[in-house]
Structure formats: C-alpha cells, structure tokens
Amino acid sequence: MKNLAVAGKNIKLNDDGFLIDERDWSPEVAQKLATSVGIESLDDEKMEIVIFLRNYYKKFHAFPILNYVCKHVKQPSQCLNNEFINPMNAWKIAGLPKLDGIHFVAVDGKNFKLEECC
C-alpha cells in the first residue's frame, strides 16, 4: 500500500496507485495522481474528462466507451488517448477503483482498446 500526501492528509493508494477510498478524491488529489503518472498538470480539458469519468462510473459502475467520453465532453474523438496517453491513467486520476478483469491494450502505440484479462 502507498500513501499520497495532499493538503496535510495521507491518502491511501493500492500498489497500482489507485485510491483505496474514492471518497478521498478531490481536484487536488487528482493533480497529485496525475503527477504520479507523468502528467504535469490537469488543464480544463483533462479535468472535464476526469469529472465525466467519475460521474459516468457513479451512474453505471463501468468504464464508458472511449469515443463516447470525447463526444460527450465535446472534444476530438481520441481525446482520452491524446490527453492521457493510456485511458487507465484517466481512470486512476479520476479516483476510481482498479478495474478487475479488464485492461487497456495499445492497438498501435497511441490508440487503446479495452480487453478482458487476468
């Protein structure tokens, strides 16, 4: 288990860097999580994607189709890949739980698809 220090609080992460308790999420936590995966800052477009992922998960308890995210937030069709490289990084930054039994696989090094695994 790992810890992430944010605003004087220790936020618990699992070994893969996902929040243990999604209620610990805040925009400040998101920024720290982004930094931990190599994203220097969360601009408005990235944060819009992150908020959409959080809301979608709360409603459906699933990861949305990637192009649906981009269409809904009115960004280019590959917005997740463009903004986060790997969509799993966006999921992690959104403070959502690790998706058991599925992962993202790079199709061509920059585009990803969701597959069942493990």
Q: How far apart are CA 57 and CA 47, in angstroms?
A: 15
The model's pLDDT over 82-92, given as tens digits with 9 standing for 90+, comes to 888 788 899 99
More confidently predicted of 113 and 10:
10
Average pLDDT over residues 28-38: 95
Do the Cβ atoms of 7 and 30 come closer than 8 Å?
A: no
How confident is the model over 38-66, as pLDDT tens digits? Answer: 999 999 999 999 999 999 999 998 888 88
Q: Over the stretch 59-116, which tens digit does the pLDDT of each residue have?
A: 998 888 888 999 999 998 888 888 887 888 999 999 999 877 777 777 776 666 767 7
